[in-house]
Amino acid sequence: MAFSLVAAMSLAVASCGGEGDGDSGKESTSSSPAATREDRPSSPAAQPSSEESGDAVLAEVKGGQELDLKITSAQRDAAGFVTVSGTVTNGSGNAWTAADWRGDERELRDNGGSIAGASLVDGGAKKRYLVLRDTQGRCLCTRFVGGVNPGATTDWFAQFPAPPASTKKVTFQVGSMPPAEIPLSEAQ
């Protein structure tokens, strides 16, 4: 059973990382903390926003439905993953469910309103990195359970395979939001 799980995770990382950069065989069990973060409520009262905790904004984009997406962290870890996080603010008068952020892949349809359709693009290497998933197709990312209420801000995160160490900047893309170039930092 353990071998099957390791093999499935290796396949998921390899298939998300693009073509042969040599690092796709790295395995890690360090994604457990991220998996528990996906179940956090999206209520602004339940969690402080990244701005309140003093995080600097790496990039900010505004998109349709009066959404404001801020990226406050893009951190590469020693296990070969990048965790991107930030906030999204719903500036509209209606609840927002993130339906267009979950992605078009059949495997992602069960993630509901989430940021599962996000990607990182390494323009120099011409590679696109997709959000990591577990063996049941659940993204290692935030699910906006119940949506985001009008005027509310909520935190989000998404984990990706890490580009090569020589890649210092990537472009973050999700749904119909404009792309945002962000620097990658190393875990401390």
Q: What is the pLDDT of residue 37?
A: 37
The whole-angstrom separation of Cα 92 and Cα 107 is: 30
Kindly tell me if the per-residue pLDDT of 29 is higher than 50.
Answer: no
Query: Which of the four pLDDT bands, split at 50, 70 and 90, describes residue 31?
Result: very low
Kindly tell me if the per-residue pLDDT of 170 is higher than 80.
Answer: yes
Place of tokens 């404001």: 68
3-state secondary structure of 36: helix
pLDDT (tens digit, 9 = 90+) per residue, 148-164? 999 999 999 999 999 99
Q: What is the pLDDT of residue 110?
A: 67
Tokens of 3: 């071998």
pLDDT (tens digit, 9 = 90+) per residue, 107-159? 666 677 888 899 999 999 999 999 998 888 888 999 888 889 999 999 999 99
Kindly tell me if the per-residue pLDDT of 7 is higher than 50.
Answer: no
Does the predicted TM-score (pTM) go above 0.75? no
pLDDT above 70 covers a percentage of the chain that reads 68
Place of tokens 């402080």: 48
Q: Return all residues near 86 (Cβ < 8 A) that are at least 6 apart.
A: 50, 57, 58, 69, 70, 71, 72, 73, 155, 156
Kindly tell me if the per-residue pLDDT of 8 is higher than 90.
Answer: no
The whole-angstrom separation of Cα 61 and Cα 68 is: 6
Mean residue pLDDT across the chain:
75
List the domain boundaries for the chain: 2-186
E strand or H helix at 111: none
Tokens of 82: 């990048």
